[in-house]
C-alpha cells in the first residue's frame, strides 16, 4: 500500500487520477482511494472549518468525482473514512427523507394543439359536461426549476422537502430557511396545516453572476439556471445556499387541514395574501382557443423573461372537479403540461446498433456524431423500430435533424436527403437476434421484431433481471446493472430467487475485485429488506409483456394473492375460463390476457415464480375503503349515466374498494344501468344479478 502524504503541502497537491478503472487492479485502486480520502478531508477542513480553501471548487469537484468513479468500480474498497460516507463538518447538514403526506405527482405532456383539444375533451367526457357547461382552466408558465414542498403549521414553516420520487423526498428545511423569497411565517389566517408546493429557481441574471464569480475563482460552472438552483439548494453547508439568491413560485396545494378556496384561481390569490410569489402570467381560460392563445403569448415572451420556462401547465380550475377527476398512474387527470417545441440540431449517423430488451424487442439505436442540443451533448438516438427506419428512410452516413422530445429524449426528426453520401445503401434490419442468433420475428400487425429465444437469450435474461431489481420492482439498492451482469456471468444469479440466495456466497463475493466487508454487508442488508414485497410489485417485477405498474396493481387487487393467481392460470386449469376472467377485468384486453396466460403457463416461468415465492413474503395489496358497501364487490357499468361519466363512475367505484369488470358474469355483484342499457342488463336479469339504476347507484355511494 502506498504511503499517504501527511503534509498540508502534499495533500493540497494531489490531483484527480486519469487511469481508466477498468485497467486498474485492486491495489492501485485502494492506493488512490486512500490518497483521495486524505486529500478531500484536508480540503473539507480548509473550506468549512477555516474558510480558507487551498484549491478551486473545480479541482475539488474533480477529486470528489474521481473518488465516486473508483468506488462505483470497486464497491468493496469503500473506506470507513470515505468522502461519500461522511456527512461533513459540523457546519454542514445531511438530507434526511421526508414521506409526502400526499404524493407529488408528475404531469402528462402535450406537444401539439390537437393534444390540448383532446385533453379538454377527455375532461369534459369524464365529468359528463355538455358543450354549454362552463369548464374553466388555469394556464400557468411551467417553471424550469426544482419542485419543492413547504409545510406550515399554524402559519409557521416547519419543513421543506424536494419532490424525490413523488412519495419520498429530501429534507432541505435548513437550506430553505436561508432563502429570503420563501415566507417563514405566513400573513393572514392560514389553516392549521398547509402544504404549499411550487418551484424553486434561479433568475438568469443571478445565474450569470454566479457563473462569473465561479469562473473568476476557477470554480465549478453550472450548465443552466436549473442545475444552479438544484446544486445551490442541495449544499451541505446551508450558508452557501444563503448566498445563491434562490427564488420561489408557489402554484399548488398538498395537505391542507381546511378548505381555503373553491377554485385554483382563488387559491393562487390566497397564496398571494399569505405572502407567496405567484406567477403573474397565469391566466384563467374558458375555451381551448384561449388556452392556446395564452400558450403562444407566454412562448413569445419566453426570451424576455428573467427565468427559464419549458412550457405551460393547464389545470382544471374547480377543486371539486379536480377531486372527481382524480389521477391515473402517477399523473392527475385534471392537469397537462403543454411543452414548447424541442430545440433541433443537425448531425451524422455513424452507425446503427441493435439492442435486445427483456421482452425480446429488437430496438435500433443510432450512434451519432456528438452534438449539443438544448445544452446537452447527444451521441445516441432511438430509432424505435424497423418501420420507423423504413418510413424515414434512415441510413448509416445520413445527415439528420435531431431534437430532444420534451427536451429530454433524443429523436431523429428527418433525414437531409441532399447531404446523403453517393454510396448510401438502405439499412437492412436483422432477421436474427444479434446476441443469441435465434430467429427474430415480427408478428402480423405489430411494429416490433422480437427474438424468439425468451430468457434463454442472454440479452433478454440480463434485461429481465435488471428490470427485477429496478426501482419500481423489487428496488434492491446496490444491486444495479453492473452487479447483475457480473453475478450472472459467474452463474450466481440466473433467476430472481438466486438474488435471495446470495448470502450463501458471501465468501465467494469477497474474492471479487471491489468487494469488501462493508460493501458486502450493505448489499446483504438491501436484499434482506426486500424479502417482504407487495403483490403488485411482485407481479410487475416478473416482467410480463404488457403488464406495467398500473396493470400489475389491477391484477393484484383482482386476485389478492399469488396462490389464487397461480391456481386460476395453471396447466390443469380451464384456461379459456381464465382468459374470460382476465378480460372481464376493466382495462385488461384480449391480447394482454393472452400474454399473461402465456407467461404463467410456460413451465420455466411457473417454476421461477414458485421458486421466488419460496424466498420472499408477499403481502396483499392495500385496498381503499374496506368498510364501504362496495368493498370487494364486482361492478359492471352499462348505458349512459347522467350525473357522471362512465369513466368517473368507474374511478369512484374503485376508490371505494370495488372491482370494475367489463362484462357480466356469475361473479358480478351489481350492474349499474344507465339510459339505453342493452344486452348486459338482459344478461344480468337472467343471472339474477342486482341491477341498480343511476339514482340507486348514487345513493349507494352517498352522492
Kindly list the distances between the CA atom of residue 10 and the CA atoms of 13, 17, 45, 532, 680, in Å, as whole numbers in the listed order: 5, 15, 15, 50, 83
Numbers of helices and strands, H then E, in the chain:
25, 26
Backbone φ/ψ region at 568: left (φ over 0), alpha (ψ -120 to 50), beta? alpha
Residues ≥6 apart with Cβ < 8 Å to 630: 653, 656, 657, 658, 700, 701
Helices (H), 560-602: 562-568, 575-584, 590-601
3-state helix, strand, coil in the chain (%, to 5): 40, 20, 40
Q: Annotated catalytic residue: which of 97, 142, 220, 633?
A: 142
C-alpha grid cell for residue 360? 425480446
**Cell numbers representing residue 18 in the block:** 486519469
Task: Give Cα separations from 315 to 290, 293, 340 (angstroms).
Answer: 13, 16, 17
Instruction: Give the whole-angstrom CA distance, residue 666 versus residue 519.
Output: 55
Largest Cα–Cα distance of the chain, in whole Å? 91
Of 656, 661, 581, 585, the residue nearest 623 (C-alpha):
656
- ∠ CA(139), CA(145), CA(150), 5° rounding? 85
What DSSP state is assigned to residue 475? -
Q: Please confirm, yes or no, whether 680 is among the known catalytic residues.
A: no
Residues in the chain: 703
Strand, helix or coil for residue 279: coil
Query: Which three cell numbers, joined as nine digits, stand for 349?
Result: 449517423
- Give the 3-state DSSP-derived string for 213-258, with helices as H, strands as E and coil as C: HHHHCCCCCCCCHHHHHHHHHCCCCHHHHHCCCCEEEEEEEEEECC
458-468 and 481-489 helices cross at what angle (nearest 10)?
130
Find cell 380550475 and name the residue: 317
From CA 91, how far away is CA 625, in angstroms rounded?
47
Count of C-beta atoms within a 10 Å radius of residue 694: 18
Within its chain, how far is the Cα of 241 from the centroid?
27
Cα-based distances in Å from 364 to 380, 415, 457, 546: 10, 16, 18, 20
For residue 452, the tally of other CB atoms under 10 A from its CB is 14
From residue 71, how far is each of 24, 82, 519 by CA, in Å?
A: 12, 9, 10
Q: How many CB atoms lie within 10 A of CB 352?
A: 16
C-alpha angle 81/518/476, rounded to 5°?
120
Q: Annotated active-site positions, please?
A: 142
Amino acid at each position: 500500500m502506498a504511503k499517504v502524504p501527511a503534509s498540508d503541502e502534499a495533500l493540497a497537491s494531489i490531483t484527480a487520477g486519469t487511469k481508466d478503472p477498468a485497467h486498474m487492479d485492486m491495489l492501485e485502486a485502494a492506493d488512490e482511494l486512500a490518497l483521495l480520502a486524505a486529500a478531500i478531508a484536508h480540503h473539507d477542513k480548509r473550506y468549512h472549518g477555516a474558510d480558507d480553501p487551498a484549491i478551486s471548487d473545480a479541482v475539488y469537484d474533480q477529486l470528489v468525482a474521481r473518488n465516486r468513479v473508483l468506488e462505483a468500480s470497486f464497491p468493496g474498497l469503500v473506506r470507513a473514512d470515505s468522502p461519500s460516507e461522511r456527512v461533513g463538518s459540523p457546519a454542514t447538514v445531511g438530507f434526511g427523507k421526508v414521506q409526502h403526506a400526499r404524493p407529488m405527482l408528475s404531469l402528462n405532456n402535450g406537444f401539439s394543439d390537437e393534444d390540448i383539444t383532446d385533453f379538454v375533451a377527455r375532461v369534459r367526457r369524464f365529468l359528463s359536461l355538455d358543450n354549454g357547461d362552463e369548464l374553466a382552466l388555469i394556464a400557468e408558465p411551467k417553471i424550469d426549476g426544482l419542485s419543492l414542498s413547504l409545510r406550515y403549521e399554524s402559519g409557521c414553516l416547519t419543513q421543506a422537502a424536494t419532490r424525490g420520487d413523488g412519495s419520498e423526498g429530501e429534507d432541505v428545511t435548513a437550506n430553505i430557511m436561508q432563502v429570503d423569497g420563501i415566507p417563514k411565517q405566513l400573513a393572514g389566517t392560514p389553516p392549521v396545516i398547509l402544504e404549499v408546493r411550487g418551484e424553486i429557481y434561479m433568475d438568469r441574471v443571478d445565474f450569470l453572476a454566479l457563473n462569473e464569480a465561479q469562473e473568476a475563482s476557477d470554480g465549478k460552472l453550472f450548465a443552466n439556471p436549473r442545475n444552479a438552483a438544484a446544486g445551490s439548494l442541495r449544499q451541505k453547508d446551508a450558508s452557501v445556499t444563503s448566498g445563491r439568491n434562490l427564488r420561489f413560485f408557489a402554484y399548488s396545494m398538498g395537505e391542507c387541514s381546511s378548505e381555503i378556496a373553491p377554485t385554483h384561481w382563488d387559491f393562487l390569490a390566497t397564496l398571494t395574501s399569505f405572502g407567496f410569489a405567484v406567477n403573474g402570467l397565469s391566466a384563467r381560460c374558458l375555451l381551448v382557443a384561449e388556452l392556446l392563445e395564452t400558450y403562444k403569448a407566454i412562448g413569445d415572451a419566453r426570451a424576455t423573461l428573467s427565468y427559464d420556462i419549458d412550457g405551460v401547465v393547464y389545470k382544471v380550475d374547480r377543486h371539486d372537479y379536480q377531486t372527481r377527476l382524480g389521477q391515473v398512474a402517477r399523473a392527475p387527470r385534471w392537469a397537462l403540461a403543454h411543452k414548447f417545441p424541442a430545440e433541433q440540431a443537425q448531425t451524422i449517423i455513424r452507425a446503427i446498433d441493435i439492442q435486445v430488451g427483456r421482452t425480446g424487442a429488437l430496438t435500433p439505436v443510432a450512434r451519432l456524431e456528438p452534438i449539443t442540443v438544448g445544452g446537452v451533448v447527444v451521441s445516441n438516438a432511438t430509432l424505435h423500430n424497423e418501420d420507423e427506419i423504413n418510413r424515414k428512410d434512415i441510413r448509416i452516413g445520413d445527415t439528420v435533424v435531431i431534437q430532444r422530445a420534451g427536451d429530454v429524449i433524443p429523436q431523429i426528426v428527418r433525414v437531409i436527403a441532399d447531404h446523403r453520401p453517393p454510396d448510401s445503401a438502405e439499412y437492412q434490419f436483422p432477421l436474427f437476434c444479434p446476441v443469441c442468433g435465434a430467429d427474430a420475428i415480427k408478428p402480423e400487425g405489430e411494429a416490433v421484431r422480437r427474438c424468439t429465444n425468451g430468457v434463454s437469450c442472454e440479452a433478454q435474461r440480463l434485461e429481465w433481471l435488471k428490470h427485477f431489481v429496478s426501482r419500481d420492482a423489487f428496488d434492491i439498492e446496490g444491486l444495479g446493472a453492473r452487479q447483475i451482469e457480473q453475478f450472472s456471468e459467474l452463474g450466481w444469479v440466473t433467476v430472481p430467487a438466486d438474488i435471495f440466495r446470495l448470502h450463501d456466497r458471501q465468501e465467494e463475493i469477497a474474492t471479487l475485485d471491489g468487494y469488501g466487508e462493508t460493501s458486502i454487508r450493505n448489499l446483504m442488508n438491501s436484499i434482506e429488506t426486500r424479502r417482504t414485497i407487495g403483490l403488485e410489485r411482485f407481479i410487475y417485477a416478473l416482467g410480463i409483456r404488457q403488464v406495467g405498474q398500473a396493470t400489475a396493481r389491477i391484477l393484484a387487487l383482482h386476485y389478492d394473492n399469488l396462490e389464487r393467481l397461480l391456481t386460476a392460470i395453471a396447466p390443469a386449469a380451464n384456461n379459456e375460463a381464465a382468459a374470460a376472467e382476465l378480460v372481464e377485468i376493466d382495462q385488461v384486453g384480449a391480447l394482454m390476457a393472452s400474454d399473461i396466460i402465456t407467461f404463467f403457463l410456460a413451465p420455466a416461468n411457473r417454476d421461477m415464480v414458485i421458486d421466488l415465492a419460496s424466498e420472499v413474503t408477499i403481502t396483499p395489496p392495500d385496498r381503499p375503503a374496506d368498510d364501504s358497501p362496495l368493498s370487494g364487490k364486482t361492478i359492471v357499468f352499462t348505458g349512459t349515466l347522467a350525473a357522471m361519466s362512465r369513466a368517473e363512475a368507474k374511478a369512484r367505484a374503485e376508490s371505494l374498494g370495488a372491482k370494475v369488470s367489463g362484462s357480466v358474469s356469475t361473479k358480478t355483484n351489481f350492474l349499474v344501468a344507465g339510459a339505453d342499457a342493452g344486452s348486459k342488463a338482459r344478461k344480468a336479469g337472467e343471472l339474477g344479478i342486482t341491477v341498480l339504476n343511476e339514482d340507486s347507484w348514487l345513493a349507494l355511494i352517498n352522492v
